[in-house]
Structure 1
């Protein structure tokens, strides 16, 4: 009689922010659907994001509650996570009846490469950015370019070792890189984290081959191995299980049913959806430009804005004027706080998406095939906007940065109107990318095959 195989078990360790947790949970759902047990390492404040999945995916999906670091800023948060969680996880794994064969951890958690070494298992990076953006980050922190004109924020920095040789003005380079210098603890921390990512066993991207093939190929060449998997877009079906897209990540100030009813009464591709993600707060001047542009444009819109939290104390935070909603009543809706973004973008009435170009938002706009209007403000967003507008041809550039390249309201209103044109080249390209994205996650699609290959590696590790 053949002895029964031990349950195959992997760890999934997200960075404790909703924009990082949600896509890794989406990946975990796909892994457990292939009969692999996944333990999600999560802190108590973020457990509600996981809770809806536990019943529908038990016993294959389980949480492990980690001590809460009680930190907000990136450097203190990740340092505290390492200090608190490394010994905790060593002890937990060593006493587990079915120890994990691998750990998949967020891009920000480079230190888990050392945890994986101590556990004698491989560490895979989960990238919340696309392959183009991560190629840029790896090149930046490995090769350490300098500003040729230290007094200028507009000096151009070329990355000729990356396909298509992207060029950026100095002010668009990662803030942690620009503002600190070697020897500074935070600068050294970010570089060490990136080098640990580069040296890790493999990497999993929430992207798909047809979208970023040239950068995926570059990543394999740059890393010197083929353990690079593109398994995205890892998004739930619009009306699928686990609540589908309506309450993904939170609840809205406007009920999803009311939003869908409002959209139902609008013509196809007549509405622009405006949202800058779960963390970005607009300044007063940005908010004034945006709301004036929406009003002047005359188009129908949904505007989702988030309010400040403790991170924004003392900062300039834009608010919507009291009479704005009254002036646009009938053609504009304002959502304060979280919005059901997938449900909105998937509605036939929505034709374009004004976005900060966070990678989650990029994918959520690509899948329904809307035209994207780009306004990046930091991190990987400039690279994502460059990909959308310059390489994919599926979007229009609206603005860049907080103050650097912000247009007048009348100019922005023209871009908004153009984004809803019926026969534009951008709309045609967006439809092509929608088709490619859906084919990638179909049963025989490229992303499904990549995920099968990844899980096959897990089973091979389990047999060692």
Structure 2
């Protein structure tokens, strides 16, 4: 359904909502999708971020301009961060703690913005914030003006259940990585919500303070204990039983917002993004796909947060070569590499050997359009929740190569649904080899088993990508926000 057509005149007065995501595009984009849907229903939405991040967001439909405004708050300079760094895309992985510390410096300007809004007669009905904004509730910026807060979690809901509230962790302490290799005792039903040994170090580190001086879990626990409700980018069809469990665990409503599937961008949107990225032109990518047979290409993209090394890239490249299938690879240069020449990212001679059946793009790629293209038959992904959701829209089977955060859990959940296979990894360190990657790609793209994966992926599309049902989730969320803003 077009966003412009989603507006509903319920006769109720509009909500005033402030939306404030973490400084990562994997967070800002779904926060923007939620903002657009609320604005399309006649509510006033203020989207808060830093100036450079706002300039890099895709444009919104002009019909929403009266209801959706963007509020820039300059990010304080932080020693150790590159000049002009305002998002996770601008910093190395080991600087994330400093970026969080810099964002903590937005407390004073955000408080001033909120005070000005109240003074102008626009006191927000809600602040929808992210996992790292504990200071909105602790200082207390929101309470000073009697504005309730909701936490919008852009990860799949199962990770919240796995992390659990502070009281559950106190009752069942988890201190070592091995403690995270089994589902927690507070999940009462069979699930894939656990980490393998080589994956568990990330989640264990979330319980320890980083360079910001505060652990990610302390940030989350402060918000979970003080916000009025939680909102999740998911739905009952994908995660049955999970929202009632979360409501019980965190002792506040857990509301699914639906999958917030982005629309396939039109040419104007892509020209806007491309003109700011200075990257690969859209026509080159799509023209190449136009020349390939239907369902013959595997689209390869490992997101913006996967900690890829040059060795990972080389094994992936050689695995694609061994698989012998057509591929379109959106290759992101690993953060911190000294490689100045894009050719040096790939094994010697790889592009020449595969040029008749493969395309490697090291700049911006219109991912949704690439997934939507008729030549695309499967998706090799790190299973970031946003990319996984995008794959649902087109019924694509998956080859899964997860790395951090919730991606391993998502990969296991999708494998359980029978829509793809995970690349084999070494149990001790999580490394993968070209042979294992080639096997996984051929299972999905070449062997008869791939037909079953494709059939199951299309069934999942029919179940989840129901415009009426997804719009109903937004309607129910809006209704909940209206009924509970003054409680």
TM-score by length of 2: 0.82
The answer for the alignment partner of 1:31 in structure 2 is 38
The answer for the alignment partner of 1:328 in structure 2 is 354
SS of residue in 2 equivalent to 1:111: helix
SS of residue in 2 equivalent to 1:360: helix
Q: CA deviation at 1:271?
A: 0.8
**How has the CA–CA distance of structure 1 residues 224 and 346 changed in structure 2, closer, same or farther, with 3 Å as cutoff?**
same
**Equivalent of 1:195 in 189, 207, 221:** 221
1: distance between equivalents of 2:157 and 2:274? 25
**How has the CA–CA distance of structure 1 residues 171 and 116 changed in structure 2, closer, same or farther, with 3 Å as cutoff?**
farther
2: distance between equivalents of 1:459 and 1:364? 29
SS of residue in 1 equivalent to 2:361: strand
The answer for the alignment partner of 1:232 in structure 2 is 258
**2:27 matched to 1:20?**
yes
**How has the CA–CA distance of structure 1 residues 29 and 15 changed in structure 2, closer, same or farther, with 3 Å as cutoff?**
same
**2:122 matched to 1:95?**
no
Contact 2:258–2:473, Cα closer than 8 Å, also in 1: no
Q: How many residues align?
A: 449
SS of residue in 2 equivalent to 1:27: helix
**Equivalent of 1:348 in 374, 390, 401:** 374
Q: CA deviation at 1:106?
A: 1.6
The answer for the alignment partner of 1:299 in structure 2 is 325
2: distance between equivalents of 1:109 and 1:453? 25
**2:299 matched to 1:276?**
no
**2:431 matched to 1:406?**
yes
**2:242 matched to 1:220?**
no
SS of residue in 2 equivalent to 1:212: coil
Deviation digits for residues 371-412 of structure 1 (CA, Å, limit 9, x no counterpart):
11111111111111121113x221201145898233431232
Q: CA deviation at 1:56?
A: 4.3
**How has the CA–CA distance of structure 1 residues 125 and 401 changed in structure 2, closer, same or farther, with 3 Å as cutoff?**
farther
Gaps of 5+ in 1: none
Contact 1:141–1:194, Cα closer than 8 Å, also in 2: no
2: distance between equivalents of 1:420 and 1:378? 25
Q: CA deviation at 1:20?
A: 0.8
1: distance between equivalents of 2:338 and 2:117? 40
2: distance between equivalents of 1:463 and 1:108? 25
Contact 1:378–1:401, Cα closer than 8 Å, also in 2: no
SS of residue in 1 equivalent to 2:414: helix
SS of residue in 2 equivalent to 1:277: coil
Contact 1:206–1:232, Cα closer than 8 Å, also in 2: yes
2: distance between equivalents of 1:408 and 1:267? 28
Contact 2:131–2:153, Cα closer than 8 Å, also in 1: yes
SS of residue in 2 equivalent to 1:351: strand
Q: What is the alpha-carbon root mean square deviation over aligned residues?
A: 3.3
SS of residue in 1 equivalent to 2:474: helix
The answer for the alignment partner of 1:133 in structure 2 is 159
The answer for the alignment partner of 1:427 in structure 2 is 454
Contact 1:54–1:62, Cα closer than 8 Å, also in 2: no
Larger mean Cα displacement after TM superposition, 285-294 or 243-252: 243-252
Q: CA deviation at 1:313?
A: 6.8
Deviation digits for residues 139-184 of structure 1 (CA, Å, limit 9, x no counterpart):
6895166678x6x869844423223254433442252634875x88
Deviation digits for residues 39-71 of structure 1 (CA, Å, limit 9, x no counterpart):
001101101234622744211110111121345
Gaps of 5+ in 2: 1-10, 82-90
Contact 1:237–1:244, Cα closer than 8 Å, also in 2: no
Q: CA deviation at 1:220?
A: 1.9
Q: CA deviation at 1:100?
A: 0.8
2: distance between equivalents of 1:44 and 1:184? 26
2: distance between equivalents of 1:343 and 1:282? 24
**Equivalent of 1:82 in 80, 104, 107:** 104
The answer for the alignment partner of 2:146 in structure 1 is 120
The answer for the alignment partner of 2:4 in structure 1 is none
Q: CA deviation at 1:188?
A: 4.9
Larger mean Cα displacement after TM superposition, 250-259 or 367-376: 250-259
* Superposition pairs of residues 375-386 of structure 1, within 5 angstroms: 375-386=401-412
